[in-house]
Amino acid sequence: MLTTENRLQERLAKHTGATSLHWSKHNAANFQFPPLTEENIGDLTFGSYQIRMAKSDIIEHIRQSQTNEEEMEFIVELCNEHDDLVRARFQSRHSNNKNHIATVQFDHHKQQPIDGWYCTCSTDAREVDICSHITALLWHLGVNTAVIATDNHPLFASRLIRAIDDSTHFSENDSSLDDLS
């Protein structure tokens, strides 16, 4: 088995107790992250499984904005002490009361801007290959450039209204069939 020390994990571990890092929450749309391509992400994963899982992680992480009901947001946490760190908390697929924190170290000035990653999930204290949480964070910030296609999101208001309208029409059709009997 290939094992290497995760440098970002070690860096984060140095900041505990009195020297702990402070993080502030931001809408990812307001954060400048280096652009990435699908190929960049593919180079960091061993196959398409993480990418498929990441897309559902992104959808699960998107929430309705607290400042504008018509907007959706993807919340990231920025490190107050180091401007090369960003993280996001993802809900565990297996436990409702557990979150996984995916942290990425990046450098805007490099051709391959991702310097390191660490996730608190059981699969990602490694430096080779990335878990779906890291993939989701990189995909949304780098490939999607933090743009949320609101018409495709299941919580978008117009989608909910269409679903209600569809169910109302179905109920009306169902009751008219009852009248024929």
Q: pLDDT at position 5, please?
A: 76
What's the pLDDT at 18?
A: 76
Q: What is the pTM of this model?
A: 0.78
Q: Answer yes or no: do 116 and 174 share one domain.
A: no
Together in a domain, 178 and 134:
no
The backbone region for 34, taken as left when phi is positive above 0, alpha when psi lies in -120 to 50, beta otherwise, is: beta
Instruction: Say yes or no: 49 and 92 in one domain.
Output: yes
Q: Are residues 136 and 155 in the same domain?
A: no
Contacts of 126 (CB under 8 A, 6+ apart): 3, 4, 6
Q: Does one domain contain both 141 and 157? A: no
Whether the Cβ atoms of residue 99 and residue 106 lie closer than 8 Å to each other: no
For the chain, the residue count is: 181
Query: Three-state SS for 162?
Result: helix
- Looking up tokens 């743009």 gives 147
Q: Clarify whether residues 83 and 104 are in a common domain.
A: yes
In this predicted structure, what is the pLDDT of residue 1? 42
How many Å apart are CA 36 and CA 8, to the nearest integer? 20
Rg (alpha carbons) of the chain, rounded to whole number: 20
Q: Which residues of the chain have pLDDT under 50?
A: 1, 171
Whether residues 15 and 89 fall in one domain? yes
Number of domains composing the chain? 2
Question: What does each C-alpha distance from 24 to 11, 60, 71, 145 come to in angstroms?
Answer: 19, 21, 20, 20
DSSP strand pairing (75-79 vs 85-91): antiparallel
Number of Cβ atoms within 10 Å of the Cβ of 88: 26
pLDDT score for 22 = 95
Domain encompassing residue 165: 150-181
Sheet holding 114-119, edge to edge: 23-27, 75-79, 85-91, 99-106, 114-119
